[in-house]
Amino acid sequence: MTTLYTIDGCSVCAEVRQHLKRQEISFQEINILLTPEVQQELKKLTGEVYVPVLKSDQGIYRGLEILNFSLQTSSSHNE
């Protein structure tokens, strides 16, 4: 499962979300403001509470790094 961690009003989050959709990459989006318990999970994954973060079987990607991940993955379909 690929998970995208975001917050409302984040322009990079919006850019990454749209890019993943254009690349037809399936992901579950979690807004960390609406689910504060996830913030501790993010801190364990990245060492800080930061968005956007993409967690996949291939690894953890932060910020605009996610755009590189999406270009490498083309076999999934958007939910």
The pLDDT, as a whole number, for residue 75 is 45
Task: Please give the single-letter amino acid code of residue 29.
Answer: E
Query: Per-residue pLDDT for the chain (79 aa), expressed as one digit of tens each?
Result: 899 999 999 999 999 999 999 999 999 999 999 998 999 999 998 999 999 999 998 899 999 999 988 655 444 434 4
Domain map (residue ranges) of the chain: 3-72
Superfamily designation of domain 3-72? Glutaredoxin (3.40.30.10)
Measured CA angle at 27 (ends 68, 52), to 5 deg: 55
Rg of the chain taking only CA atoms, in angstroms? 12
